Chain A
Amino acid sequence: MTDVLMKPIMTIMGIFIIHFFIMLQLIGGGNGERTKDQMYEKIDGSSACYRRLNATHQIGCSSNRGGSTGTIHVCDSKRDLNFLLVNGTAFPYIPVLPVKYFNVENLERMIESKKVSGLVLHLNNETLKSLDYFTHDYQCPNPYSSLTDTCNEVSTWNPYGTGLLYRDIPFPIFYIDSYEEVLKMRNCFEKFNNFSYESQSDRSLCSLELKSFMYATTNTPTCRRRSNIITNLNPVKFCDPLGDSNIWASLYPLADGPRRNETKPLKDYKYIIISARLDATSMFDKTSGANSPVTGIVTLLTVAKYLKEILPIEIVREKKTNILFILFNGETYDYIGSQRMLFDMLKGYFPLKGAAEDNILPVIRPENVSLFIEVSQLGNSKDRLFVHHLTKGNEVLGFYEKLVEYGKPLLKFDNVSDSLPPASLHTFMKKIPTFPGLLIADHKHSYSNHFYNSIFDNSTNIGFQYYDVLENDDISIPTDSIQQLIANLSETIGKSVFEEVSQTKYNGVERADVILANELLYCYLEDPNCRVHRAIQRGNKLPKIPFSLYVGVDHVTNFMTSFTSLTLGWLTGVVEKGDVNCTNKPRNYAFKFYNMSKSIVDLNTTLCYKITMNTTEAVSPAFIMPDYNWTSGEFSTWSESTWSEINVRMFLKPSAAHEKMSIAIGCISVIFSFILVYFVKSRSHILFTPPLPTEAPTDC
């Protein structure tokens, strides 16, 4: 009997399965509307706070696996929040709070109340007007990797810093800057939640689900170890080291030769380094760093162009002093970029690993550096700038004198000795205490920027206004604008460096390019499709939002880094004369060749640029040393957790009463039907009179 049965069963099952897949295809391919679409409303345009780890701690936030849910409560004032924390009955809640109430006090109360499972912050116009400060970095940024005693009672660099960026927050936080999305939540809240609070737990409530589950926990070593365990064929990565690339370029090539493929490194040079940092951060996956770092980057690029104009190659060759421009990346997270740069320099890996053996470029070591000039935040000054330094060397004081001299009458420089705000210079001076370095900034004892490393460090913060001008008539750009300040400073630095190199006074009349400063600020703060970016590359149109300045993880190159490196290459590059095809053949590892526009005025004329710019890896040495002692605190150990999805959706959470009713009805239905069917079955012989046997059909 079983054989007879097996065949039709197998056939039927086979057809069943085929059938089922056809059905799935039809359902998937059709324009089906799912019940889910009716139940959930996606909230777009949100940026999450995510988790980072160092050698000892985890910071940031994470949702539960599968998302944290909570009842929406739109708070417009601190009173609303208090009311919720004291009187709320339908917890867990997710307060929707204007961003200005995000501070230590409120956050701690939310954590202590245990009634909060997530937080949504939003921007409103009122906040923008009334915000005096908003910075969540430490009061002393980078406390563990800076020189000791540089941040003290006198010089607390970031006095409004709350340190929340470095707190381990037990619930997810999202930031939403779209007004419409906030309105959606507000309407839902008014419709379902915002009345008779005592009975909230008895009715369906408008709720939010915040999904930002972070895979990494505890600290970087733990997460690295877990990532390296091979348990199956599909290894899981829990965290990635923070990092990107440092950008460097020399004013004139580091190698020279008769023909393109026969260059020799120019050895025994001294180098003046002009540097700035390239990154910023914020609580959320959205940054804006007008004051720090954009003012510094723009100054550096303007100086590069200015020096190219005033300092002829003959002087550089004669005096054997070249200029290096370096943009350090990841400086916000314990000086990742400069730590790696110094590490490479000490090993002889800068500017190129294997430079010594291959004879391509000269090896540059810290002792070859005759002066290190770092440009920091400049946005909150009109004409007064501060030169910070720690060494008493003649180079530094001499350079300060030159700055004062050339700055007249537009700029006033103050000498702040024995002081150094957080800067890449810390890394160098920690290893080499006599390192000749100075830092130019707009602050003396504490940042004049009250929005350091926050989303509000935007163009408004530095009072930037773009002037759409191409001709160099300085009248159109006001003399008290940030563009003019940057141009004046660039000019002063340029002239001082000229004198530093040539040992003679600069007597020319060349001015720094204020139009370039204007354009560059516009590029970084408002529209990446600006003239400079169109001059250096021919890519697709970019969205009109500023580049993210967050350093990111090591295997992803930021737009910021690639565009800035090309800009620096363009400004320091040499135009190849004559009829050349712009390819690097025969290959020369000392240069790159790019077709770029002649100038921002003439975008359509392209020239071939031979450029010296290159990038070096900016990943902390801790991650490349196989036997690094994680507890030593020598190098930055920051890593970022991985995640699979980040999203926010709104829905109606059924009340407990309704859920109980559902399950009760289900159970009653089952029990009742079991009894009834058993009863009918056991008494079917009475219930149904058997039919007459003759009634069988005749046609079979």
Chain B
Amino acid sequence: MTVVEFFGCTLLAFGPPFAMFIFTIVHDPVRIIILIAAAFFWLLSLLLSSLLWFAVVPLRKDLAFGLVFAVLFQEAFRFLIYKILRKAEHGLKKITDDSATLIENKHILAYVSGLGFGIMSGAFSLVNVIADSLGPGTMGLKSGTEMFFLTSSAIGLCFILLHTFWSVLYFNAFDNKNKFQISFVVVSHLLVSCLTLLNRYQYYSACIVPLYVILAVTGCYAFKVAGGSYASFKVCISFK
């Protein structure tokens, strides 16, 4: 029955990353490999987080504990993939057909690995929820409202995009030893993750609105770090 709802939510959450994948990743095999490697690193971080959650029995019921450590693990693995990519740059130069743009513009590597991180995290946070929307029913019988699925998908999308932007900022910060940018990424990651804790109290708008504000801010920051500016934006949309 709510196959309709299932498709709506899936398209909302995974439509934009799919578009990004089609237009910016798929033409270069090296980018695909990096995307998958990044996704794999996100999974490793999840494995460590879940082991920690599993080991610390008394705090299993406390989502906040697991959440904070999951964020820290993710950031640690983001650093790991940064290190590995920088080490692998010479090798990549040999096998890529498009060495000029890929290596010279190092934001591209950051963007690709960020998208990999994001897609995997989005998939894991949404698959369970969206799979459950396939039955005939919707949320709201016992708790929650019928907006639950749309909200979850919107949050999932937000996280995919945030991961992409965070990686751009983070890689650049380590290249330039910019402590402010590093702490910005970690703190904003912690902040948005903690905001999602509000979901269980059904304050959906209290979660979504700040989340998208932070997304916009992070997006602009990453845009600026990647070499964009207000002037270039104006030039771009003026079609001159």
Interface, chain A (partner B; CB < 8 A): 1, 4-5, 8-9, 12, 15-16, 19-20, 22-23, 26-27, 30-31, 34-36, 38-41, 67, 69, 188, 204, 206-207, 209, 650-654, 658-667, 669-670, 673-674, 676-678, 681, 683, 686-691, 693, 695-697, 699-700
Contact of B139 among A35, A69, A683, A699 (CB under 8 A): A35
User: Are A654 and B138 closer than 8 Å at their CB atoms?
Assistant: yes
- Distance A27 CA – B140 CA, assembled complex (angstroms): 24
User: Are A673 and B141 closer than 8 Å at their CB atoms?
Assistant: no
List the 10 closest pairs (A to B, CB-CB), nearest first: A651-B137, A662-B8, A666-B11, A670-B15, A673-B16, A666-B8, A654-B138, A688-B227, A35-B132, A663-B8
A207-B19 in contact given A662-B149, A691-B104 (Cβ < 8 Å): no
Interface of B is mostly: helix
- Distance A686 CA – B29 CA, assembled complex (angstroms): 25
- Distance A34 CA – B20 CA, assembled complex (angstroms): 31
Q: Which residues of B contact A22 (CB under 8 A)?
A: 47
User: Are A652 and B40 closer than 8 Å at their CB atoms?
Assistant: no
Q: Which residues of A contact B47 (CB under 8 A)?
A: 19, 22-23
| Residue B213 interfacial (CB < 8 Å) | no
**14 sampled A-B residue pairs with Cβ under 8 A:** A12-B40, A19-B47, A23-B47, A31-B60, A38-B144, A39-B132, A39-B141, A204-B146, A654-B138, A663-B8, A669-B12, A669-B16, A673-B15, A690-B105
- Distance A40 CA – B236 CA, assembled complex (angstroms): 51
B170-186 Cβ-contact flags toward A at 8 Å (1 or 0): 00000100000000000
A676 to chain B, nearest CB (A): 8
User: Are B128 and A35 closer than 8 Å at their CB atoms?
Assistant: yes
- Distance A652 CA – B149 CA, assembled complex (angstroms): 13
Query: Among A16, A650, A661, A669, which residue has the most Cβ atoms of chain B within 10 A?
Result: A669
B225 to chain A, nearest CB (A): 10
Q: Which residues of A contact B5 (CB under 8 A)?
A: 654, 658-659, 662-663
B34 to chain A, nearest CB (A): 11
A680 to chain B, nearest CB (A): 8
| Residue B203 interfacial (CB < 8 Å) | no
User: Are A688 and B141 closer than 8 Å at their CB atoms?
Assistant: no
- Please, which residue of chain B has its CB at the minimum distance from the CB of A209? B136
Q: Which residues of A contact B86 (CB under 8 A)?
A: 697, 699-700
User: Are B16 and A30 closer than 8 Å at their CB atoms?
Assistant: no
A507 to chain B, nearest CB (A): 74
User: Are A15 and B227 closer than 8 Å at their CB atoms?
Assistant: no
Contact of A677 among B24, B90, B135 (CB under 8 A): B24
- Distance A9 CA – B95 CA, assembled complex (angstroms): 14
Interface, chain B (partner A; CB < 8 A): 1-2, 4-5, 7-12, 15-16, 18-20, 22-24, 29, 33, 36-37, 40, 43-44, 46-47, 50, 54, 60, 86-87, 89-90, 95, 103-107, 124, 128-129, 132-133, 135-144, 146, 148-150, 153, 157, 175, 226-229, 232-233, 235-236
- Please, which residue of chain B has its CB at the minimum distance from the CB of A203? B146
- Distance A41 CA – B128 CA, assembled complex (angstroms): 19
- Distance A666 CA – B15 CA, assembled complex (angstroms): 8
A224 to chain B, nearest CB (A): 34
- Please, which residue of chain A has its CB at the minimum distance from the CB of B145? A204
User: Are A69 and B136 closer than 8 Å at their CB atoms?
Assistant: yes
B32 to chain A, nearest CB (A): 9
- Distance A5 CA – B33 CA, assembled complex (angstroms): 9
User: Are B37 and A39 closer than 8 Å at their CB atoms?
Assistant: no
User: Are B11 and A670 closer than 8 Å at their CB atoms?
Assistant: yes
User: Are A689 and B229 closer than 8 Å at their CB atoms?
Assistant: yes
Q: Which residues of A contact B129 (CB under 8 A)?
A: 35
User: Are B128 and A677 closer than 8 Å at their CB atoms?
Assistant: no
- Distance A26 CA – B10 CA, assembled complex (angstroms): 25
User: Are A38 and B16 closer than 8 Å at their CB atoms?
Assistant: no
- Distance A67 CA – B1 CA, assembled complex (angstroms): 11
- Distance A676 CA – B237 CA, assembled complex (angstroms): 12
Q: Which residues of B contact A673 (CB under 8 A)?
A: 15-16, 18-20
User: Are A666 and B12 closer than 8 Å at their CB atoms?
Assistant: yes
Contact of A700 among B22, B87, B132, B235 (CB under 8 A): B87
Contact of B146 among A15, A658, A677 (CB under 8 A): A658
A1 to chain B, nearest CB (A): 6
- Please, which residue of chain B has its CB at the minimum distance from the CB of A658? B146
User: Are B18 and A670 closer than 8 Å at their CB atoms?
Assistant: yes
Contact of A36 among B16, B43, B132 (CB under 8 A): B132
Q: Which residues of B contact A38 (CB under 8 A)?
A: 139, 141-144
B207 to chain A, nearest CB (A): 17
- Please, which residue of chain A has its CB at the minimum distance from the CB of B15? A670
Q: Which residues of B contact A4 (CB under 8 A)?
A: 95
A207-B15 in contact given A23-B47, A38-B143 (Cβ < 8 Å): no
User: Are A677 and B136 closer than 8 Å at their CB atoms?
Assistant: no
- Please, which residue of chain B has its CB at the minimum distance from the CB of A40? B137
Q: Which residues of B contact A654 (CB under 8 A)?
A: 1-2, 5, 137-138, 146
User: Are A26 and B54 closer than 8 Å at their CB atoms?
Assistant: yes
- Distance A206 CA – B140 CA, assembled complex (angstroms): 10
A666-B10 in contact given A653-B136, A659-B2, A691-B105 (Cβ < 8 Å): yes
- Distance A670 CA – B60 CA, assembled complex (angstroms): 37
B143 to chain A, nearest CB (A): 6
- Please, which residue of chain B has its CB at the minimum distance from the CB of A26? B50
- Distance A687 CA – B223 CA, assembled complex (angstroms): 9
Q: Which residues of B contact A20 (CB under 8 A)?
A: 43
Contact of B23 among A26, A662, A665, A677 (CB under 8 A): A677
